[in-house]
């Protein structure tokens, strides 16, 4: 033990003399851990929220009636059910942002809530304090857990504003409140969320008995009673791809971070070989040395990993609002609450840091332990070693490409999609030094003047030391090109698609059928209304997959505008006949249908067989969609309310029409918005979805820039000895500094140039493989040369920034320091 201690402290003394190397190691490991554990924290928080959200409403196995389609139903359904003897309690839930952080707003009706449940309990607990009436009487109360209050930075009685500007009722603390939840009266929630007269769920307090009329006879198909666990299962299935994507990016970032660690460790082991020899010579056994080396790695993993875990926590806290917003918008999954420092997560973060550090250090460790005590006479044979290194790399790269190809050829899942991606990236990473080396050799061959010749030859010698950093950069640049290309491609496609899909100028939903008829009659008499496009919907499950059936009129508007991927020539006429349907791309892929295939739709009156006559893109929809003629829909689902409308008017007339409708019909209209508003909401969903991707992307780039800086810094000491003879032969320091700078910029630029095709391959892989598997839709593959140029510029800038410090240091080296290289008395 004493031996290990002294050996360890001797080994550690190395770092004191190489603070730059230590910094690279530390930062690399910390960042790798931070990115990985940050993503893990986000995923864990989201999953915890799904469970929590479910348990809030389903404590003790209680079930809820949920809207068959859409997020809410008119509260009229609640009244109808209560008056038919159904013991239900209404709730309206949604994610809200406060200071950019997500919370779950829950509107409840306390009188019908079971006192024993969590929601009722928290209010009842407050009531014992003598303040129950205050929950109902204006301004009401917001009940929240003490932790939630702390997160809000508020105290009891404070009124907190939502980011929308609406103000919550005064806060009250209750230990029974679900974490991250803000419970208010349902009426207050409807006002806060701008959902007057709408509820999102009806909690079933008691199974209806024999004398209670069946659900469908009371509210038609507006509500359904999902089997226990279905809600959570759907949510988990729908969000799985999202989390997998997040995990993949976290893993990529982690690997890039480990590249730094590997480089820093490798260098340290190399530099410490003489020290290790001496230690062995004075009697440290291989076991002692092994234990000391392992302890060193473990210590570093603990310290750097600890910092990384904390950083990951901060990262996750910063990204949580975006993750929450996109999960809410895409899947209706509510993620709320504050990230908690979970000990299990903390330990697993440290564990991954240790595993990563060990993996990164393994090569060096083994090499050090196998080191013969007596040094071989000849100096390190870098040229031979490099040749072997490159050959091995090339072989491994080919293997990785082969694996990617195999995964593409034989795989049929999101995992195989990621395998393609991984194979491609790893292969390219392995191949990069081979390519760069070949390019440099070519340069060396064509350079005859001594200095350029030396420049190329020396760059080639530098390659192994820089290749890890350059590889990290390659991955970062390639993901930037790839992910950037995908996001940009999606942005354009999505915008265009929205333009076509949002053909009508005004959209509204009536509060009920009778109201819808009245509004329809009125609108038909308005001269400015060019067309009225009614819609209705029903929900079905196709092969277990939640699917919406939308009824639409085969109006000229749709024929002209509705975006299609593929259709039969008479698609719209066939649909109008009522025996044909358009299906979404997701459905087309999942059910492997083609034009002309028949599709059985389960209705209350048995199967309805329709023919598929068209496939349309339905970006962002996690569920399937079938579009049929509205009259055919009404025939098969008579209870499906016809309450949704699109109205065609001149765009300038839209605001006036909305105002007129609101003034005239007021509460009869559940929702109304113009095209611009819907476009804005959709675009915001899109931005949220990719905000996380973009953030991780940028972080990866930053990490690789740090890797380059770290490599250059650690190499700077060795460089001096390599450059000094050239200097002694009569090349000025300024000139040498210029060449050093040029070398790094050239290598980085070459890396960026390799990154562009790799990025394009990556983008293709993302749009054609990963996205299709993850979301069920395929984006058009587009190229954005301007983006490549910006990545190239970014690369050069990165190189310049990373190179500037070591080069300044070189320029500042005094002749005395350089001369000392040649001094005998060293």
Min dist. Cβ of residue 140 to another protein (A): 9
CA distance 273 to 267: 10
- Comparing CB distances to another protein, the nearer of 608 and 727 is 727
Task: Choose between 136 and 251: whose C-beta lies nearer to another protein.
Answer: 136
User: How many Cα atoms occupy the beta-carbon half-sphere of 224 within 13 Å?
Assistant: 19
Binding another protein by CB under 8 A: which of 61, 227, 730, 785? Answer: 730
Contact 351, 301 (CB under 8 A): no
Using rule CB under 8 A, residue 416 touches another protein? no
823 sits near another protein (criterion: CB under 8 A): yes
How many residues bind another protein (CB under 8 A)? The answer is 69
For residue 224, report the phi and psi dihedrals to the nearest 5 degrees: -135, 160
Binding pattern for the stretch 62-81 against another protein, x by CB under 8 A and - elsewhere: -------------x--xx--
Rounded to a whole number of angstroms, the minimum distance from the CB of residue 700 to another protein is: 32
**Structural contact between residues 340 and 245, judged by C-beta atoms closer than 8 angstroms:** no
Q: Which is closer to another protein, CB of 445 or CB of 609?
A: 445
**What does DSSP say about strands 88-98 and 201-204: parallel, antiparallel, or unpaired?**
antiparallel
Q: Give 93's DSSP letter.
A: E
Our CB check for another protein shows the closer of 410 and 446 to be 446
By beta-carbon proximity to another protein, the closer residue of 41 and 92 is: 92
Q: How far is the CB of 421 from another protein (least distance, A)?
A: 37
Residue 448 or 592 having the CB closest to another protein: 448
Q: How far is the CB of 379 from another protein (least distance, A)?
A: 5
Give burial (CB, 10 Å; 0-12/13-18/19+) of 214.
exposed
Task: Please report which residue ranges of 584-674 form alpha helices under DSSP H.
Answer: 585-590, 630-636, 654-665
User: Counting contacts by CB under 8 A, is residue 403 touching another protein?
Assistant: no
Question: Residues 796, 801, 803, CA angle at the centre, nearest 5°?
Answer: 90
Does residue 83 touch another protein according to CB under 8 A? yes
CB of 79 or CB of 347, closer to another protein: 79
- Judged by beta carbon, residue 87 or residue 491, the one nearer another protein is 87
Report in angstroms how near the CB of residue 361 gets to another protein at its nearest.
Answer: 26
Asked whether position 380 contacts another protein by CB under 8 A, the answer is yes
Distances (CA, A) of 53 to 106, 137, 232, 324, 753: 10, 27, 9, 13, 48
Which DSSP symbol is given to 376? P
Neighbours of 303 (CB within 10 A): 14
* Four-residue CA torsion sign, 555, 561, 566, 569: positive
Does 376 participate in binding another protein (rule CB under 8 A)?
no
User: Which segment (96-104, 388-396, 600-608, 814-822) binds another protein by CB under 8 A?
Assistant: 814-822
Q: Tell me which of 47, 82, 237, 367 binds another protein, using CB under 8 A.
A: 82
Asked whether position 447 contacts another protein by CB under 8 A, the answer is no
List CB contacts of 706: < 8 A, sequence separation 6 or more. 24, 27, 28, 31, 260
CA atoms of 274 and 10, how far apart (whole Å): 12
| Shortest Å, Cβ 823 to another protein | 5
Non-local (6+) Cβ contacts of 578 within 8 A are 628, 629, 631, 632, 635
463 and 436 in contact (C-beta within 8 Å)? yes
Exactly one of 457, 565, 660, 749 binds another protein (CB under 8 A); that residue is: 457
Using the rule CB under 8 A, which residue among 178, 179, 180, 197 binds another protein?
A: 197
Stretch that binds another protein, among 299-307, 378-386, 508-516, 795-803 (CB under 8 A): 378-386
- The residue (of 79 and 366) whose beta carbon lies closer to another protein is 79
What is d(CA 288, CA 306) in angstroms, rounded to the nearest whole number? 26
The CA radius of gyration of the chain, in Å to the nearest whole number, is: 32
Stretch (H or E) spanning 535 = strand 531-542
Burial class (CB in 10 A: 0-12, 13-18, 19+), 601: buried
Does 165 interact with another protein (rule: CB under 8 A)? no
Give Cα 342 to chain centroid, integer Å.
21
Residue number with CB closer to another protein (78 or 562): 78
Site for another protein in 115-154 (CB under 8 A): 126-133, 136-138
Subset of 600-659 contacting another protein (CB under 8 A): none
3-state SS assignment for residue 65: strand
- Cβ-proximal residues to 480 (8 Å cutoff; 6+ apart), any chain: 697, 700, 701, 755, 759, 791, 794
Quick check: 720 binds another protein (CB under 8 A)?
no
Name the minimum Å distance from CB 176 to another protein: 15
Asked whether the beta carbons of 181 and 152 are under 8 A apart, the reply is: no
In the complex, what is the shortest distance from the CB of residue 725 to another protein, in angstroms, rounded to a whole number? Answer: 4
Closest distance of CB 207 from another protein, Å: 11
How far is residue 495 from each of residues 489, 499, 686, measured CA to CA in Å?
10, 6, 10
Q: Where are the alpha helices (DSSP H) in 138-199?
A: 146-152, 186-192
Q: Which is nearer to another protein, 5 or 822 (CB)?
A: 822
Q: Which stretch binds another protein (CB under 8 A): 61-69, 612-620, 685-693, 731-739?
A: 731-739
205 or 591, CB closer to another protein?
205
Query: Per rule CB under 8 A, is residue 188 in the interface with another protein?
Result: yes
Of positions 85, 638, 651, 780, contacts another protein by CB under 8 A: 85
List 450, 638, 651, 780, residue binding another protein (CB under 8 A): 450
**Which residue number, 112 or 790, has a Cβ lying nearer to another protein?**
112
State which residue, 387 or 656, has the beta carbon closest to another protein: 387
**Residue 109 binds another protein (CB under 8 A):** yes
- Binding window for another protein (CB under 8 A); candidates: 95-103, 184-192, 304-312, 501-509: 184-192
According to CB under 8 A, which residues from 208 to 267 bind another protein?
209, 211
Given candidates 224, 237, 733, 778, which one binds another protein under the rule CB under 8 A?
733
Q: Does 734 bind another protein (CB under 8 A)?
A: yes
Number of H helices and E strands in the chain, helices first, is 26, 20
Contact 172, 95 (CB under 8 A): no
Cβ-in-10-Å burial (0-12, 13-18, 19+) of 521 comes to exposed
Question: Judged by CB, which is closer to another protein: 137, or 797?
Answer: 137
Per the rule left: phi > 0, alpha: psi between -120 and 50, beta: everything else, 547 is beta
Regarding 344 and contact with another protein (CB under 8 A), the answer is: no
Q: Is 379 in the site for another protein (CB under 8 A)?
A: yes
738 binds another protein (CB under 8 A): no
The nearest distance, CB 31 to another protein, in angstroms, is: 33
Q: Classify 620 in phi/psi space as left (phi over 0), alpha (psi -120 to 50) or beta.
A: left
The pairing of beta strand 566-567 with beta strand 171-173: unpaired
Closer CB to another protein, 415 or 822, in the complex? 822
Of the residues 146, 359, 382, 387, which one makes contact with another protein according to CB under 8 A = 382
Measured from the CB atom, the residue of 75 and 625 that comes closer to another protein is: 75
C-alpha 655: how far from chain center:
36
Position 21 contacts another protein (CB under 8 A): no
Name the residue nearer to another protein (CB basis): 206 or 517: 206
Q: What is d(CA 721, CA 709) in angstroms, rounded to the nearest whole number?
A: 20
Q: Interface residues with another protein (CB under 8 A)? A: 75, 78-79, 82-85, 87, 109, 111-112, 126-133, 136-138, 185-188, 190, 196-197, 206, 209, 211, 378-383, 449-451, 453-454, 457-458, 460-461, 722, 724-735, 815-816, 818-819, 821-825
């Amino acid at each position: 033990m004493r031996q290990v201690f002294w050996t360890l402290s001797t080994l550690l003394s190395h770092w004191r003399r190489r603070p730059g190397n230590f910094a690279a190691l530390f930062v690399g490991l910390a960042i790798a851990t931070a990115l990985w554990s940050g993503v893990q924290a986000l995923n864990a928080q989201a999953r915890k929220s799904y469970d929590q959200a479910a348990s809030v409403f389903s404590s003790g196995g209680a079930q809820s009636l949920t809207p068959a389609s859409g997020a809410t139903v008119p509260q009229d359904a609640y009244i109808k059910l209560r008056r038919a003897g159904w013991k239900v309690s209404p709730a309206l839930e949604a994610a809200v942002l406060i200071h950019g952080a997500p919370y779950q707003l829950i509107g409840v009706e306390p009188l019908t809530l079971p006192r024993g449940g969590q929601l009722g309990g928290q209010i009842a607990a407050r009531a014992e304090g003598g303040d129950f009436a205050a929950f109902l009487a204006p301004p009401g109360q917001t009940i929240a857990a003490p932790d939630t209050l702390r997160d809000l930075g508020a105290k009891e009685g404070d009124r907190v504003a939502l980011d929308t500007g609406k103000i919550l009722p005064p806060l009250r603390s209750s230990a029974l409140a679900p974490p991250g939840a803000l419970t208010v009266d349902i009426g207050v929630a409807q006002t806060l969320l701008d959902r007057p007269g709408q509820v999102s769920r009806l909690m079933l307090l008691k199974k209806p008995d024999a004398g209670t009329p069946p659900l469908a006879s009371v509210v038609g198909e507006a509500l359904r009673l999902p089997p226990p666990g279905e809600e959570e299962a759907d949510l988990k299935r729908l969000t799985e791809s999202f989390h997998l994507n997040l995990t993949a990016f976290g893993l990529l970032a982690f690997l890039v971070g480990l590249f730094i660690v590997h480089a820093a460790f490798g260098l340290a082991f190399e530099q410490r070989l003489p020290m290790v020899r001496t230690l062995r010579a004075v009697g440290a056994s291989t076991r002692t040395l092994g234990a000391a080396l392992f302890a060193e790695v473990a210590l570093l993993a603990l310290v750097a990993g600890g910092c990384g875990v904390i950083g990951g926590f901060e990262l996750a806290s910063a990204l949580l609002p975006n993750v929450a917003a996109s999960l809410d918008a895409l899947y209706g999954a509510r993620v709320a609450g504050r990230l908690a420092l979970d000990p299990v997560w903390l330990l697993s973060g440290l564990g991954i840091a240790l595993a990563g550090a060990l993996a990164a250090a393994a090569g060096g460790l083994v090499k050090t332990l196998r080191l013969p005590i007596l040094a071989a006479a000849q100096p390190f044979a870098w040229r031979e070693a490099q040749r072997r290194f490159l050959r091995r790399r090339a072989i491994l790269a080919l293997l990785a490409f082969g694996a990617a190809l195999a995964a593409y050829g034989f795989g049929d899942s999101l995992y195989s999609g990621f395998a393609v991606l991984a194979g491609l990236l790893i292969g390219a990473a392995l191949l990069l030094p081979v390519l760069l080396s070949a390019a440099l050799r070519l340069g060396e061959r064509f350079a005859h003047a001594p200095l350029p010749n030396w420049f190329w030859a020396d760059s080639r010698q530098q390659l192994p030391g820089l290749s890890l950093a350059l590889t990290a950069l390659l991955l970062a640049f390639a993901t930037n090109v790839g992910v950037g290309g995908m996001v940009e491609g999606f942005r354009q496609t999505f915008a265009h698609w929205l333009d076509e899909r949002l053909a009508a100028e005004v959209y509204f939903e009536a509060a009920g059928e009778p109201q819808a008829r009245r509004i329809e009659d009125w609108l038909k008499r308005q001269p400015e209304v060019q067309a009225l496009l009614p819609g209705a919907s029903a929900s079905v499950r196709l092969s277990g997959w939640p699917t919406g059936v939308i009824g639409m009129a085969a109006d000229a508007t749709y024929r002209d505008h509705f975006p299609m991927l593929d259709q039969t020539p008479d698609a719209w006429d066939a649909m109008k006949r009522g025996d044909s349907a358009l299906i979404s791309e997701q459905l087309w892929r999942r059910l492997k249908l083609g034009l002309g295939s028949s599709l059985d739709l389960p209705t209350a009156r048995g199967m309805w067989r329709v023919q598929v006559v068209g496939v349309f893109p339905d970006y962002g929809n996690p569920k399937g969609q079938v579009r049929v003629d509205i009259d055919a829909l009404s025939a098969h689902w008579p209870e499906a309310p016809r309450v949704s409308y699109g109205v065609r008017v001149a765009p300038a007339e839209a605001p006036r029409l909305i105002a007129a409708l609101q003034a005239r019909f007021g509460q009869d209209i559940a929702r109304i918005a113009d095209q611009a508003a819907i476009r804005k909401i959709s675009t915001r969903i899109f931005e949220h979805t990719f905000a996380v991707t973009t953030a991780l992307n940028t972080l990866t780039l930053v990490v690789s820039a740090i890797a380059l800086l770290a490599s250059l810094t650690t190499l700077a000491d060795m460089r001096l000895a390599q450059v000094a003879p050239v200097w002694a032969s009569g090349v000025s320091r300024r000139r040498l500094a210029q060449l050093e700078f040029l070398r790094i910029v050239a290598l980085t630029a070459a890396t960026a140039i390799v990154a562009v095709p790799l990025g394009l391959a990556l983008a293709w892989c993302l749009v054609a493989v990963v996205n299709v598997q993850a979301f069920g839709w395929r984006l058009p593959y587009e190229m954005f040369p301007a983006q490549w140029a910006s990545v190239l510029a970014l690369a050069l800038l990165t190189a310049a920034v990373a190179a500037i410090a070591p080069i300044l240091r070189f320029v500042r080296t005094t002749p005395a320091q350089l001369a000392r290289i040649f001094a005998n008395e060293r």
